[in-house]
Amino acid sequence: MAEALPILISVAAEDAGKRLDQLLTLHLEALSRARVQEMIASGKVLVNNAPAKASLKLRGGEQLRVLGEAQRAPLKAIAEEIPLDIVYEDDDLAVINKPAGMMVHAGAGATDDARNRGTLVNALLHHLASLSAVGGELRPGIVHRLDKETSGLIVVAKNDAAHRQLNSQFAARAVKKKYVALVHGWVKKDSGTITQSISRDPVRRMRMTTRLVGGRTAVTHYRVVRRLDTKFGKFTLLDVKIDTGRTHQIRVHVAAMGHPVVGDTMYGAPRQARGKSAVTGLARNFLHAAELEFRHPRTGEAIAQKSELPEELLEFLRKLEERI
């Protein structure tokens, strides 16, 4: 929260009927609704100089005073014995083939140890002797991220020098990343580049959007591998390469084209694909980080790793292509 404290907000007449936490989330764009609710519960928000509940319905004309953010006890990631597919490892780094359903690390909004379990970081602390400290105690070793329901390759740093050098490669867009995505419908062009900027959705804070002016630059290249006409509907299998690494970048960009990733209900995919005579669904997103190439932070040698589609995605493709 970058604004000078206290923050004073006058509730406009047109905001009558909104909940207190809803209105504050709109005003404090850098904070999630859950974080705003913590502030209210800890007495950091006053309505007409008195504490209030997050559910308070505003009438218009109130004066809101934001005193600061709620203080939290810092969390520290702990080691857990979780199976891990390590596809490459040396003294400086490791490349992991992450399964779908695993978070890379606990989020900034984690408030208890229960939300700091089962992540890639917990598994790394068990399997690897050392991890870089650049990202802090909640994100040791983490140089970049994959979404929870995205599978595939991610590189982690085992010491601070390697972490900083890898960070520099990502910042310079020198790391090559290729993904495989299955999207709904037939993408018209055989290949293309999407350059719409990406911002956080001001209303649905867990989502990103291309609809706002002034977002962060994002560049996504796609190539059609094949188009499928199935009893469940039409789909396109894509190879996707990204020059930038914005939050949800591929998912947001293909959804903006009108072709959401299969399974990605956050960005408009149906929970089930319905054809003329059949229904099927996927419990995860059909998005897989298939190739990762970078320079070794110590030797400069090219490191290139590949990951085949996991069995659940191969099985889904087989199911789509079954004939009645």
Q: Active-site residues: which are they?
A: 147
Nearest to 155 by CA among 86, 102, 99: 86
Q: Residue 10's beta-bridge partner residues? A: 63
Q: Could you give the CA distance from residue 158 to residue 207 in angstroms, rounded to a whole number?
A: 31
How many CB atoms are closer than 10 A to CB 43?
A: 11
296-322 in b/e form (b: 16+ CB < 10 A) is ebeeeeebebebebbeebeebeeebee
Residues 208/213/216/219 CA torsion (nearest 10 deg): 90
Q: How far is CA 123 from the centre of its chain?
A: 19
From the number of C-beta atoms within 10 Å of its C-beta (0-12, 13-18, 19+), residue 82 rates as: middle
